């Protein structure tokens, strides 16, 4: 790749991080973000980034083997579909190795499994959280394999995918960033193509990242419920590495979704909380987005019908530092 093209590709990939987070000595990243796009013109580079490029470098082969075995074992242990039952299959993934995302994904998996009766059908993909390193790590390729595996277990006529993703975000999509060895961009176009290929039509997508609102127009459908941490042109907050939660994760998952209330009420509660925190910080509003298709209201009623009627208490340090 020519030097000018490399520089341009980095320009496409870098700006969001500085706006939404501050340097922290607990960050797992030190190397510059590499160029992931290819092509001779800005248009060609932009189109290449829609294909979900993923780069791995200097990874230990033993570590790669361990991760492959860990992911395979975890997927094999997931329980099959129950005929006649609208089962929820949950994936909670941290696409960044900074501990805040690992902590958020792990607890989000527990909250969503309890809420949607998905114990035994929940997969957490996350790096070390400062205390544990016992689940498969999140990456774009791990997510693709996990979705394909779940598609083999799910009945597309009855079952629902619940996907919670937490990471930094870019104007082109969700950013995959594992230490200084893994990089990638998951675009809305590519996620839509994958879900379509796998016939996963009933899906609840909860995306915690800057610019995550770009996924709404691409992924919206009659059978989709999607909630994002920000509008397409806004950053979200709370992603400092030493945090336990981002603002979106704390407000929506750690607080609102622990309560016996519907998704729309939970979203409204979370949006108000986030707006209050951002106003107190005097930062631009992230403007979380939500769109729920008419058909999605039917299966939401089914999977929420047996949600626990006793709320659980929030865990971890509040994102606002209260």
Q: What is the DSSP string of 97-112?
A: -SHHHHHHHHHHHHHH
Reported pTM: 0.93
d(CA 54, CA 180): 13
pLDDT above 90 for 250: yes
Q: How many CA atoms lie within 13 A of 7 on its CB side?
A: 3
Residue 258 has pLDDT above 70, yes or no: yes
Please state, in angstroms and rounded to a whole number, the distance separating the CA atoms of residues 298 and 275. Answer: 29
Q: Average model confidence (pLDDT) for the chain?
A: 92
DSSP one-letter code for 212: G
Among the listed residues 96, 97, 152, 93, the one whose alpha carbon sits nearest the alpha carbon of residue 122: 93
Pair 174, 209: CB distance under 8 Å = yes
pLDDT digit string, tens, across residues 31-62: 999 999 999 999 999 999 999 999 999 999 99
What gap in Å lies between CA 98 and CA 115, rounded to an integer?
A: 26
The span from the CA of 163 to the CA of 322, in Å, is 28
Phi-psi region of 205 (alpha: psi -120 to 50; beta: other; left: phi over 0): beta
Cα dihedral 15→16→22→26 (10° resolution): -100
Interval 112-128 mean pLDDT: 97
> 270 CB contacts (<8 Å, ≥6 apart)?
248, 251, 252, 255, 256, 288
Q: What is the pLDDT of residue 81?
A: 94
Quote the CA–CA distance of 72 and 308 in Å, as a whole number: 31
Which pLDDT does position 25 carry in this prediction? 55
pLDDT greater than 80 at residue 208? yes
pLDDT at 293 over 50: yes
Indicate whether 205 pLDDT > 80: yes
């Amino acid at each position: 790749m020519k030097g000018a093209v490399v520089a341009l590709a980095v320009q496409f990939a870098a700006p969001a991080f500085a706006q939404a987070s501050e340097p922290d000595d607990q960050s797992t990243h030190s190397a510059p973000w590499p160029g992931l796009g290819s092509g001779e013109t800005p248009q060609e580079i932009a189109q290449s980034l829609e294909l979900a490029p993923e780069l791995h470098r200097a990874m230990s082969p033993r570590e790669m083997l361990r991760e492959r075995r860990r992911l395979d074992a975890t997927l094999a242990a997931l329980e099959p579909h129950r005929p006649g039952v609208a089962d929820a299959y949950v994936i909670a993934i941290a696409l960044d190795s900074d501990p805040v995302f690992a902590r958020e994904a792990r607890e989000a998996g527990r909250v969503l499994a309890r809420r949607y009766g998905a114990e035994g059908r929940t997969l957490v993909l996350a790096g070390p959280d400062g205390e544990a390193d016992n689940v498969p790590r999140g990456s774009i390729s791990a997510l693709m394999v996990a979705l394909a595996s779940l598609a083999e277990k799910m009945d597309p006529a009855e079952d629902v995918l619940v996907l919670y993703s937490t990471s930094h975000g870019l104007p082109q999509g969700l950013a995959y960033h594992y230490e200084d060895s893994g990089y990638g961009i998951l675009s809305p176009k590519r996620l839509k193509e994958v879900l379509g290929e796998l016939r996963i039509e009933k899906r609840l997508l909860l995306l915690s990242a800057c610019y995550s609102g770009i996924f709404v127009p691409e992924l919206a459908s009659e059978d989709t419920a999607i909630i994002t941490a920000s509008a397409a042109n806004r950053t979200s907050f709370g992603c400092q590495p030493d945090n336990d939660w981002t603002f979106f994760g704390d407000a929506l998952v750690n607080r609102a979704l622990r309560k016996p209330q519907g998704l729309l009420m939970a979203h409204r509660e979370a949006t108000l909380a986030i707006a209050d925190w951002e106003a107190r910080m005097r930062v631009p509003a992230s403007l979380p987005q939500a769109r729920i298709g008419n058909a999605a209201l039917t299966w939401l009623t089914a999977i929420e019908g047996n949600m626990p009627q006793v709320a659980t208490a929030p865990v971890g340090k509040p994102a606002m530092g209260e």
